Amino acid sequence: MSFLDRIMPKRAKFGFATSPWSTPPERDSRGYLSAYSEIYSLFGITLRIATAVSEVRWRLYKGAERGDRSQIAAHPILTLLDFANEFQTGQEIIELTSLHMDLAGKAYWYLPRNKLGVPGEVWVIAPNQIKPVPSETKFIAGYVAYVGNEQIPFSTNEIIRFPMPDPLNPYGGIGYAQAAAVELDSESYSGRWNRNFFYNSARADAALEYEDKLTEDEFKRLREQWSGQHQGVSRAHKIAILEGGVKYKQIQVNQKDMDFKELRKQTRENLLFTFGMPLSVMGITENVNRANAEAGDYTFARWLIKPRLTRIKNKLNEQLLPMFKGSGIELDFDEIVPETIEQKQSLAESGVKAGWMTINEARKLNGFDPAPKGDVFLIPFNMMPTPADKPIVPPPSATPPKTKGLTEEQKRFYWTNYSIKTASQEKPFIKTLGELFNKQASEVIGNLGSKEIFDTDKANKQFADAFRPLIYEVYADKNEEALHTISARLYTNSVQKQDLPEDSIEWIEERSLKMATLINETTKDRIRKRLAEGMREGESMPKLTKRIQEFYTGEQKFRAPMVARTEVIAASNEGALNAYEREDVEESEFYPAAGACEECMALVGVYPTKEAHSMIPVHPNCRCVFLPVI
């Protein structure tokens, strides 16, 4: 019998304490999963969320590392996500994953390999049946599934784990249901009490009183007589005739005395608060109008569905995609937040009207395929179609703009588009730095005990060679974009794609080597300090190795994004300034990023273009930009 045959048919059962005065039982993962079928409000909330999460369309893109994504229509990964296994669809798998994360705080995918050595199926394993095996060096050494008394081991490349944050246990996970444990108990027990009230009033209805003590035979005869004549629905409300001094005493406790209506309503609201679920999404119409119903739809999509999808997406990109051959691919999902869609539409519309975004760039921003003749600018003054690759011929009545520089609205939208584009250009830098840091970490660990931490000259060359094409691409892209923007503003001939001038190539070469040298010098200095601390504390070689591994993990997590942003912004602005000079734009305006610091705000103003070089980035993570003053 296979693992799936043994584990999949199992159905968890959830028991409650039967004594009215006992302490409610502590739930484990199995208990929270079973509570889903026991508590109607928990069922309604989690199923509504899981259904919405599972309905979103997944898409695969290539060119993600270059920041120029194009969709892949067919791929084994998409097939796997559409048809998870012989008995379940991809939608069912995502639905179960969402339920497990919300109820138990974690979810697990088992990925059996096919003959090609890649995952051919996806099975969701209940979190109460599998546990991670901690490791001192790798965090997780593997997983163990429990089927009865049998333990089945799995390697880390067979299981994908989707944990919710647990501050006390990095190997566990806290789901929304666990955070609402007290509310679930209240809902369950109050519901059962109310049900029993209608079944048997949740108490004895009356008492039969005898003046004398009954013998055993008299008691037996009375009980049989009363049960036969008055118990059961068909015998309800019959007149009882009592003999021999028997008195009937009604117990005067009505349902209002034990009414749990308000308790259950409060419990329901507490559960909704825990999940962040809007009332309107659950069909509750109390104090709901159209305005706050629309706000509820936005809240539901933005704060409940999208974070769950993002968590799943990041996990699949990190662990599932590397199991398939090929690089530069990325899973993503269609935008689901209404406001985000409206913002992109507004940005595209304004960008096209302002003359700095082509029709196809606007279409791409909103997820549409390029139009056959969409590489055109629309001149702001008469909305005249202008091919991006042909000379611009202004109408006889057209005159160059008399205002100096861009309008405030144009500046704002220019920076918004600039920030979106540079953010996507950071990704290949971050990935490249991560790969370089991994190789360097292995070299440093191999050199422990020797005087040389790593070969500086070799590292500088490796880093510079890796950065050079990335910097070139950002520089050249911005240079060409700036030339088109200036051309559209001045009604001059649209520029043709051309090679960068020699001074630009020299800047890219110098910047690559400077960046590599600075990174490696800083890294070597920090490693020396880390090793010196470890040696002072008398750490063994394994502990020093762990210290190095933790150092490079931190470099990848925190330093790589900072370096990536700084270098992308530097290359982008230098590319733009070079274009401004080539088009004889004598002045450039320092435009601050949204939420700019005081240091950047102090530099806001207009500068001679030739003197503006190297001003941006002002500091690490700076996102300011130079705009042409025309």
Mind listing the pLDDT tens digit for each residue in 363-417? 877 777 777 777 776 654 444 444 555 444 444 443 444 335 677 877 887 888 8
Mind listing the pLDDT tens digit for each residue in 298-312? 889 888 999 999 999
- DSSP track, 162-230: EEPP-TT-TTS---HHHHTHHHHHHHHHHHHHHHHHHHHTTS--EEEE-SSPPPHHHHHHHHHHHHHHH
Q: Walk across the sheet containing 150-154 and list its strands.
A: 130-135, 139-147, 150-154
- Residue entry with tokens 């979810």: 107
Answer whether 102's CB lies under 8 Å from 177's CB.
Answer: yes
- When mean pLDDT is compared across 100-109, 111-120, 182-191, 295-304, the lowest value belongs to 182-191
What whole-number percentage of the chain has pLDDT above 90? 29
- Give the C-alpha separation, 566 to 573, whole Å: 11
Does pLDDT of 213 surpass 70?
no
- Could you tell me the pTM of the whole model? 0.49
Domain ranges within the chain, ordered by starting residue: 1-201+259-333, 204-252, 426-629
Mind listing the pLDDT tens digit for each residue in 527-579? 888 888 888 888 888 888 888 888 888 888 888 888 999 999 999 999 999 98
Does pLDDT of 7 surpass 80?
no
Q: What mean pLDDT is reported for the chain? A: 80
Interstrand relation of 106-110 and 385-387 (parallel, antiparallel or unpaired): unpaired
Does pLDDT of 137 surpass 80?
yes
